[in-house]
Structure 1
C-alpha cells in the first residue's frame, strides 16, 4: 500500500513539475523572443502607427511589463488560474471566449476522427482476428496500412473537397455550421491515424494468438466466440493506451486539416495567432491543449487495467514464438531500388530552383518527366533534391524516437506520466514555442517532432514489456534467481523491439508529414527549398487543373511508408 502511495506521489510530482515548466515557458512567451513585446503589440494592432516612446510606454503599462519579468509572470499566472487569458493583441477581445468556442469545435471533430480511426483499425485487424480464432496465423505485411498512413491529411482533405464537395456536391466544402461539415475533415484526419493504430492492433492480436493458453482453449473445444472475445480483450489491453494518446495527438495536431476546411478549431486559431503575433491567443491555446491532452492520455492506464480484470497487469501472457520471416521478394526490392535510384539520378542533375514562367503547370513530357509547378520549376528535380531532406531526415528522427521510446518503455513499470504529458503537446504546438523563442527552421521542426514522437512508442513498449514480465517463463526464471538485467536483455528486449520497430516504421511517413506540415505553416523548411511537404502545399491550389503537382510528391511519401513498413517487418 505504501509503495502504491509513493508511486502515485511520484507520478503527481512529475506531472506537476512538467505542467509548471510548460506554464512558466508559456507565461514568459512574450519575453523570450528577444523582441520588445510592446512593439509587437503596437504593430499587431496598427501597422501604420509610429512606435514612438509615448505609445510604447502606454502599451508596456497596459501589459504590466514595467514591474519586471517575475511580476509579469505572477500576474499572468493568477489571471490564467481564474480562466482569464487576457485580451487579444489584434482585436482587443477576451481570449477565453474564443478559445472555449474553438475547443468545442476541435473536440467534436477529434471525436469523429477517433471513430473513423477505430473503424479503419477494425477493418485492418479483422482478417488477423478471424485467423487467430480459427487457430491459424496471419503473417501478411502491413502494406495497406502503410499506404493509408502515408497519405497526407491535407492532401486527403483537398481531394475530398474536389471530389465530394465540388464535383458531386454531396457535402459542404468548408466551414462549421452542422455535423455535415465534420464528415470530410474527420475522414481525412482519421484514416491515417487508424492505419497506424491498425498496425499496433494486428501485432497485439498476433501475439495473443501465439500464446499457449489459446492453443489449450482450442484443444479443449471452447467455442469460437469465447476464444475470440479473449483474444480481443488481450489485444485491446495493448491498444487501450494508444487510444488516449491518439485523441490527445489528433486534438492538437489537426491544424492542417482545420486550415484546409476552414474549420474554426483550436489548432487553426493557434496558427493564425502565431502568424499575427497574437501571443495571448497562442498562450491560451497551448495551455488548453495541454490540459485536455493530459486528461485524455491519462485514461489509457485505467482502461488497460479494466480490460485485464482483477489481476491487472500481472495477468500472464506467455511469450509468443517468433513469427516466420516473410519471404524475401528479391525481384520486387530490386525493381523498387532501381526506380528510386532512377528518379534521384534523373533529377539530381537538374536545377530545382530554376524558374521558367513560360512553362507554368505543364503536364509530364519528355522534357519534364513529372511536369512543372506554378513557377515553371521542374518537379523531377525538386522531388529528387527533396528526397534527402525528407526521407533521410525523417528516418533519423524516427530512429531517435524509437530508441527513446524503447528505453522509457522498459524503465516505466506503470503508465508513463512523461509519455502522457509529452504526447499532449503535438509537434505544431511545440514548434510554435520554439519558433517564438528562436527562429523558424529545420532545427526547430526536428526538435519539435523528436520531442513528441517518442511518446506513443514508449506507451507501446511499456505495454508489451509488462506482458512479457508477467509471462510464465519469466516468472519462473525470476524465481530461480535470474537477474533483472538478464531477463530484460535476453527476453524482454528481444520480444518488444520488433513490434516497436514496426510501429515506428509505419510512423515514419507521419514524421515526414509532420516536418512537412511545420514547413507549410512557416515553422520548418522555408520556400523555395525542394522539400516534399512544401511541394504538396505549393501544388494544393492547382490540384484540380494540375494534379501532378501533388500526385508525385504524395506518391513519394506513400512509397516511403511502404519501404519503411517492409523493412520494419523484417525485424520479426
Structure 2
C-alpha cells in the first residue's frame, strides 16, 4: 500500500491536479524527514499534545486534590514527579497544565495568523494611503515590548486565561502583517496577477484567492518559529499573576507559586520550567525544519 502510494505520488507525469498536489506534499514530507532536529521537535510536540489530550487517562491523581500531610514530597513511586507546596501531584498538574498552556498558544495562533495575513496582504496590494495607515498602526504595536504591552492589556481587562489570550493576540499579529506585506509587494506586479485583473477578478478575490495562498508557507514558518515566544509570554503572564489563576495548573503559575522552594525542593519549580523549555525548543527545531522545506528562499 505504502509503495503504491509512493509511486503514485512521486510520478513525474501526474494525471491530475490532485495527484500533483499530493506529490508536492509527499516530497515536502520526505525533505522534512531528512532533518533530524525537525523530527525531534515534531516528536516532542506530538508527545506533549497527546499528554494534553489524554490527561484524564494518564493522570495518577486529581490535579486539584491537596494532601497537606504529604506536601513537598520528593519524586517516588506514589508521586512520580513529587508534590508541590499543597501536596498536589506535580506529574498530574504538568499533564493538565499542557492543556492550559498549549490551548492558549493554539487560541493565539488561530486569532493572529489570519488577522496578520489579511492586514499585510491588503496593505501590500493596495499601497498608498491604505498601506500607510495600516503599517503605522502596525508600527505602534511593534514599538512596545510584547510582554509589557500584554501586561497593559490584561491590567485593563482582568487577570485570566481569556484576557491573557486576547492580550497576547493583540501584541503578536504585527510581525505576520509585516511579513505578508513584504511577500505581497514581491508578487502584486507579476504577470499572472495582471492576467487575473484582465479577466475581471476583483481586488479582494485576487488578494484572498491568489496572493494570500502564496504568503501562507512563509506564514506557517513564521508562526512555528514564534510559538516559543508565545509560550514564554503566556507563561510569563501566569508567573506574574496576570494569566491563568490558581488553582489552574498552568506552567507559569506553577513556577510562581513554587519559586521559593528552588534550593530545597528544586523539582517543584524546575519540572514546569523544563516543560516550557522542551516545548519552546521543540517549536524552534520544527520551525527551522519547516523553513528549509517550505521557504527555500530563506536558505
Does TM-score exceed 0.5, indicating one fold? yes
Q: Does 1:536 align with 2:255?
A: yes
Equivalence for 1:403: 114
Q: Does 1:569 align with 2:273?
A: no
Distance 1:490 1:432 in 2: 37
Give unmatched runs, 5+ long, in structure 2: 1-23, 34-38, 125-130, 295-299
Give unmatched runs, 5+ long, in structure 1: 1-321
Select 1:368's aligned residue among 68, 76, 79.
Answer: 79
CA 1:336–1:515: 2 relative to 1, 3 Å: closer
Equivalences for residues 468-547 of structure 1 within 5 A: 468-470=187-189, 472-474=190-192, 477=195, 483=201, 484-485=203-204, 487-489=206-208, 491-547=210-266
Q: Does 1:386 align with 2:97?
A: yes
Deviation at 1:336, TM superposition (A): 6.5
Q: Does 1:551 align with 2:270?
A: yes
Equivalence for 2:17: none
Deviation at 1:377, TM superposition (A): 1.8
Deviation at 1:534, TM superposition (A): 0.9
Is residue 356–residue 375 contact of structure 1 (8 Å, CA) maintained in 2? yes
Of structures 1 and 2, the larger Rg is shown by 1
Is residue 389–residue 531 contact of structure 1 (8 Å, CA) maintained in 2? yes
Equivalence for 1:171: none
Distance 2:260 2:75 in 1: 18
Once the two structures are superposed, residues 289-314 of structure 1 have per-residue CA deviations (whole angstroms, 9 ceiling, x without a partner) of xxxxxxxxxxxxxxxxxxxxxxxxxx
Once the two structures are superposed, residues 66-97 of structure 1 have per-residue CA deviations (whole angstroms, 9 ceiling, x without a partner) of xxxxxxxxxxxxxxxxxxxxxxxxxxxxxxxx
Deviation at 1:386, TM superposition (A): 1.5
Equivalence for 1:432: 152
Is residue 373–residue 549 contact of structure 1 (8 Å, CA) maintained in 2? yes
Once the two structures are superposed, residues 450-507 of structure 1 have per-residue CA deviations (whole angstroms, 9 ceiling, x without a partner) of 111111111121112212325x545764796674456534542222111112211222
Distance 1:354 1:514 in 2: 28
CA 1:482–1:474: 2 relative to 1, 3 Å: farther
Once the two structures are superposed, residues 359-401 of structure 1 have per-residue CA deviations (whole angstroms, 9 ceiling, x without a partner) of 3333322211122223332111111111221111211111211
Report the more deviating stretch, 356-365 or 506-515. Answer: 356-365
Distance 1:338 1:403 in 2: 27
Is residue 238–residue 251 contact of structure 2 (8 Å, CA) maintained in 1? no
TM-score (norm 2): 0.68
Distance 2:195 2:270 in 1: 54
Is residue 346–residue 380 contact of structure 1 (8 Å, CA) maintained in 2? no
Deviation at 1:560, TM superposition (A): 3.4
CA 1:473–1:557: 2 relative to 1, 3 Å: farther
Deviation at 1:564, TM superposition (A): 8.1
Once the two structures are superposed, residues 263-302 of structure 1 have per-residue CA deviations (whole angstroms, 9 ceiling, x without a partner) of xxxxxxxxxxxxxxxxxxxxxxxxxxxxxxxxxxxxxxxx
Deviation at 1:551, TM superposition (A): 3.5
Is residue 395–residue 508 contact of structure 1 (8 Å, CA) maintained in 2? no
Distance 1:339 1:431 in 2: 27
Equivalence for 2:21: none
CA 1:448–1:339: 2 relative to 1, 3 Å: closer
CA 1:477–1:559: 2 relative to 1, 3 Å: farther
Equivalence for 2:28: 325
Equivalences for residues 340-379 of structure 1 within 5 A: 341=50, 344-345=55-56, 347-379=58-90
Is residue 225–residue 283 contact of structure 2 (8 Å, CA) maintained in 1? no
Is residue 81–residue 90 contact of structure 2 (8 Å, CA) maintained in 1? yes
How many pairs does the alignment contain?
A: 249
CA RMSD in angstroms comes to 3.6
Distance 1:524 1:335 in 2: 25
Is residue 405–residue 461 contact of structure 1 (8 Å, CA) maintained in 2? yes
Deviation at 1:556, TM superposition (A): 2.7
TM-score (norm 1): 0.38
Is residue 360–residue 376 contact of structure 1 (8 Å, CA) maintained in 2? yes
Equivalences for residues 248-259 of structure 1 within 5 A: none
